Each structure stands twice: as structure tokens, then as C-alpha cells.
Amino acid sequence: MTNGAAAPAARAAFGPWVVPLLALAIFINYVDRGNLATAAPLLKTELNLSASEIGVLISAFFWAYTPGLVLAGWLADRFNAYMTLAAGLAIWSIATLLTGVAGSIAVLLALRVLLGVGEAAAFPCSSTIIARHVPAHRLGAANALTLVGLSMGPAVGIFFGGHLMAELGWRGVFLLFGAVSLLWLVPWLVVTRKLSAEPPSAESATGPPFLAILARRELWGASLGHFAINFGFYFVVSWMPLYLVQAQGYTVPEMANLGGAIYLVYAAAAYGSGWLSDRWIQTGATVNRVRKTFFVGTLMLSAAGLLACAVLPPAGAIASLFVIAVGLGAVGPHIFATAQTLAGPQGAGKWVGVQNAFGNFAGILGPIVTGIIVDRTGGFEGAFVLAAAVTLTGVLGYGVIVSKIAPIAWAKRAA
């Protein structure tokens, strides 16, 4: 069965605002999850926390987020991706708001877990929606737009959040950002009202089961690659504010300015990479060649930048943060475009849920290991070396274990 007959009607009903609203949801997702890292210098002082305790708080988000991705992927494929995403955003926005009134590390820990429950809906739902409505030669641009949201979230969070925290304190920023996040639900419910009301499609009933997905070599290669990319990315997202303040001597407003600039470079690299890959495919290059070229080149660049931060003097280390932003930004659109290509519209939600769950073990392990390294060595050099080594393993995942990036022919299942 081909998708050509049903696709035009689906795309016509899809409308022009769904992908931008998905990008906005990813933007809000990363603003809200990154607020803790921005507030880390203030939290560390006010609550007398060690770097290891900060690492545990950052990691706690992923305790629920990682298994939640699998559940969200199943819900998105089998039932309603639109309402699953709406429910997830409501949960994570409320968790963000309540963090502003937390009075102990135990409450902060519980709210980070709740935040992870809600945010788990974002990527499986967006991948299901994009895979069902966006043609293969446009996947780069569609995913790049969501990656712009991903990168602009930390940029706005660290820039405006850092400056607002200097004025309102960290509690006021969590209250404000949580309340504003809830406003996204209004345009989303309006724009997707008709799409959300449609019954589950035949594709969702005949999609691959989890066991079939887990049996694919490509899933394990993509999961290793996703883990490697996430390890480097989460290291930067989670620890850059504290690194700039503690190791490089920047003030919180100075850290906000520099961090915001780094994420803007990330956003530009993500969008440029997605656009360029689509153009390359349209000229006749295979999807496999395009995606693998970007994976290998950007992962090597990212690892080189991380290693340079460990060995160069301060000025060189700061410049290397921008190199890391280019590498990690440019690889981003291909993570989800590759998953959507391999799984197809029938299984994109479950595939991305499983792959992202394995990839996000980096968020569970990385912050804790980094906190231990920083506490025991008194510096970030060892943490940068570790992040560089793990990031480089992504070349093995996407370059070797994923033998070919092409749609998988799933066996038909009875509805």
C-alpha cells in the first residue's frame, strides 16, 4: 500500500500552522526544562547544594521522562497525538509554575519528576504528526524548525531567564514561565480541533508492534547515536551556566548574554542543516547518503569542540563552545528525520518513543557523573573529555550499525 492516495487530503486538512506550533511547543519544552540549569548558581547558594546534588536534580527530570517517552509514543500512534501533546504540555507547565514555590530539595525533586512526565509527550507526538503529514523531501526543514524551537528555548531561557532572575529571583521566573507556557494550549486546541476529532487512522491500527521495532538493528544503531548526541547536548545545556560562572568567572547576566549567543548559533546551524539536506535530496542524492554525511561530519566536529574546551585556555574554550553549538545544532534535524524515514507514518511515534528513551539515558547518567567529576577534580576538564568521547560513539551508531537509512517494510497486522 502506498501513502500517496491519502496524503493530499491529510496535508490539506493539516494546515500551515501545525508545524510552527509544534516548534513553539518544543521551544516551551526547553525553556521550562532548562530553567533549573539557569537557576543553578542561585539555587546552589540559597539551598546550600553541592554540584552532585544539582546533578541529581537535573537527572531526576529524566527518571520519568525516559520511560514516559515509550508510553507517549504508543498513545500518539494508537490514539490521539494532538490531545496527548496538549495534556503533556499542561502537566509540565503546572510543574514549572509550582517549582517557584518549592521550599526544599525534596519538593524540587518531585516537581522535576512531574516535569519529565509531561515533557515526554513532545517528541513522540510531534514525530507522529510530522511523519503522517510531511513528505520525505521536506522532513529536513520540518524537523529543523522544531530544532530551532529546541535551541531557542535554552537561548531565551538562559538569556531572559538569567536577566529576570537578577531582578525577580529564581522563584519569580518559574512562576512567570509556567503561567505563560499554559497559553500555548489556546491556539493549539483551535488549530487542531478538526484533526484531533478524527477517528484513529488505519495506519495506526496496522503499525508495527514494539517487539517488531525492538528487533530492528537500525533502532539500536539510532539509539546509540541518539544517546551519544544527547550526552554532549545535555552536558552543555545542564552545566554551561555553572561552568561559565564558576570556572570562567562570569556574572549571571554575563553568563546569560554569552549562553544566549551560543544557542542562537545552535539554532542557525539546525535550520541551515535542515534546509541544506532537503535541497541536496531534491537534487537527486539519496536520503541515506545525505543523512549519514551530516551525522559523521557533525558528530566529529562536536567531539572536537568538546575536547578543545578541556585543553585550551579560557578564550579558546569559550570559542570552542560555539564550535560545539554548530556541530550539535547541525546534527539535530537528522535525528528525527531519520527515525521518521525508518519507521514511516505507521510507527514513528513508537519508534521515536523507544529511541528517545534509550537516548535519554544520557540525561540520567550524564548530570550525575558530571557532578561527581566536578566535585572530585575541582574543575570541568575531565567532564569535557568524557562528553567528547561519548559524543564520538555516535559515528558508530549512525555510520555503521544503521546500515541504510530507508523506509522499513513492516509486515501487515490485523486491526
Which CATH number goes with the domain that contains 105?
A: 1.20.1250.20
Task: Report how many domains make up the chain.
Answer: 1
The more confident residue out of 327 and 165 is 327
Q: Contact 73/131 with Cβ under 8 angstroms?
A: no
3-state secondary structure of 88: helix
* Mean pLDDT for the stretch of residues 26-55: 83
Confidence of residue 200 (pLDDT cuts 50, 70, 90): low
315 CB neighbour count, 10 Å cutoff: 8
Confidence of residue 295 (pLDDT cuts 50, 70, 90): very high
Task: Render pLDDT for 171-183 as a digit per residue (tens, 0 to 9).
Answer: 999 999 999 999 9
Is 213 part of any domain? yes
Task: Render pLDDT for 350-374 as a digit per residue (tens, 0 to 9).
Answer: 999 899 889 988 877 887 888 889 8
Task: Say which residues have a Cβ less than 8 Å from residue 115's Cβ, sequence separation at least 6.
Answer: 32, 33, 61, 65, 92, 95, 96, 99
Q: Phi-psi bin for 171: left (phi > 0), alpha (psi -120 to 50), beta?
A: alpha
Q: What's the pLDDT at 205?
A: 54
Is 206 part of any domain? yes
The more confident residue out of 43 and 268 is 268
**Range(s) of the domain holding residue 130:** 16-401
pTM of full prediction above 0.85: no
Is 44 part of any domain? yes
Is 323 part of any domain? yes
- pLDDT more than 90, % of the chain: 44
CA-to-CA distance for 407 and 399, rounded, in angstroms? Answer: 17
Is 77 part of any domain? yes
CA-to-CA distance for 171 and 35, rounded, in angstroms? Answer: 10
Checking if the pLDDT of 281 tops 70, the result is yes
Is 101 part of any domain? yes
For the chain, how many helices (H) and strands (E)?
Answer: 18, 0
Task: Say which residues have a Cβ less than 8 Å from residue 109's Cβ, sequence separation at least 6.
Answer: 56, 57, 60
Q: Contact 138/278 with Cβ under 8 angstroms?
A: yes
Q: What's the pLDDT at 144?
A: 87
Is 409 part of any domain? no
Q: Contact 66/363 with Cβ under 8 angstroms?
A: yes
Task: Render pLDDT for 233-246 as a digit per residue (tens, 0 to 9).
Answer: 888 877 777 888 88
CA-to-CA distance for 58 and 62, rounded, in angstroms? Answer: 8
Is 8 part of any domain? no
